[in-house]
Structures are given as C-alpha cells and as structure tokens.
Amino acid sequence: MKVPFTKIVKSLTGISTPVFGVSWNPPSTEREIARKLLIFLEDRRALYNPFDIEMPMYVDRSVIEIRHELTDTLKNLDENSQISQHIRAMRTACRKFLDQNSHSKQHSNYFIRHEAEFFASLGELRAVFGIHIAQICVKYGIDIEKELTSIFPLIDNTK
C-alpha cells in the first residue's frame, strides 16, 4: 500500500522543504529519477525490517547495493539538482555504516561482531535515510510504500 506524499507533508514538522507544486516544480526527468530510486529503496529490507530478524552479512550486502545504486543515480543527475544533496547524504551514511562495521574479526569461518555497535550504526543509517527519503517524497510529490515510511522522523504530538 502506498502512502500519499500529502500525508507525509502533514507529518513532517520542522523540516523546511518546498511542497511539490507550490513553490518549486521539479524537472520531470529529475522527478522520474527520484521515483525510480524510491522504488529501488522500497525493496531494501535492511532499511526497515525489525532488528531481531536482520542478519549482519545480508545487511552489509544490501547497504553495498544501495550505495552502488545511489552512485549510479548521481551519474544521471546534474550536480546542482535538488535531489543530489539528498543522495550524497544517503551515500555518505552508507559509507559510514560500512566503515563502522568493517572491523569484523574472522573466527572459524564466521564473522564475530559487536552486535550493539552493529545495530546502533544500522539505526543511524535508517535515521539518515528516513529524513532524506521523506524530503524527497515531499519535494517530488511521490507516494511510497508503507514499510519504508517506518524510518521517517516521528512527530511530537504532545504540543
């Protein structure tokens, strides 16, 4: 089930982004590139699966694939495009995640990791992606699968 970008706009408070169609009309090719990227990210379970079912080896592979897709997407964009700053930030988050988790020690053909560090860095990666994906959805007027919205910033409804 897709979540309409208009619902995402209402839930994002404190994030300054122009709303699609109001003050900025993205180029159609840029919007199409953004839509294709989001379709790819919707299928990356490492971004939204519950932590208790994640397997570090598969998460690493998925993050590497995401980083490659982000790089390939950047190749098709003008360097001054609105979306490129978001893609670069997500790609940086991928590199940081992989760098933080590259210190695995090999022991009897199994990788031993410090689980707390791994899941903390995965949470950080998801938070960065959540902020940028939400902004892309709003800027380009793109609806997105519900699973991926689970990493979007939460609203403080206590006010």
Residues 6+ apart with CB under 8 A from 65: 44
**Rounded to two decimals, what is the model's pTM?**
0.78
pLDDT per position as a tens digit, 21-52: 445 555 558 999 999 999 999 999 999 999 88
pLDDT per position as a tens digit, 72-111: 999 999 888 989 999 999 999 999 999 988 765 444 334 5
Q: Chain centroid to CA 59: how far?
A: 14
pLDDT per position as a tens digit, 111-157: 555 778 888 999 999 999 999 999 999 999 999 999 999 999 976 65
